[in-house]
Chain A
Amino acid sequence: QKEVEQDPGPLSVPEGAIVSLNCTYSNSAFQYFMWYRQYSRKGPELLMYTYSSGNKEDGRFTAQVDKSSKYISLFIRDSQPSDSATYLCAMRSGFGNEKLTFGTGTRLTIIP
Chain B
Amino acid sequence: GAVVSQHPSWVICKSGTSVKIECRSLDFQATTMFWYRQFPKQSLMLMATSNEGSKATYEQGVEKDKFLINHASLTLSTLTVTSAHPEDSSFYICSATRLAGGPSPSSGANVLTFGAGSRLTVL
Contact = CB atoms under 8 A, between A and B. Distances in A.
Interface residues of B, number: 28
Contacts of B111: 34, 46, 49
Given A44-B114, A88-B43, A99 B105 contact: no
Contacts of A102: 43-44
Nearest to A31: B105
A55 to B, nearest CB: 13
B97 A97 contact: yes
Interface stretch (B13-21, B65-73, B76-84, B115-123): B115-123
Given A99-B49, A102-B43, A49 B34 contact: no
B90 interface: no
Contact of A105 (B43, B105, B106): B43
Given A44-B93, A104-B43, A51 B106 contact: yes
B7 to A, nearest CB: 13
B54 interface: no
B28 interface: no
Contacts of A85: none
Interface in A74-112: 88, 90, 95-97, 99-100, 102-105, 107
B105 A97 contact: no
A8 B42 CA distance: 9
A36 B119 CA distance: 20
Nearest to B48: A99
A32 interface: yes
Nearest to A104: B43
A60 interface: no
Nearest to B38: A38
Contacts of A44: 44, 93, 114
B25 interface: no
A95 B41 CA distance: 29
A57 to B, nearest CB: 14
A46 B114 CA distance: 8
A43 B93 contact: yes
Contact of B117 (A42, A96, A100): A42
Interface of A: 6, 8, 31-32, 34, 36, 41-46, 49, 51, 88, 90, 95-97, 99-100, 102-105, 107
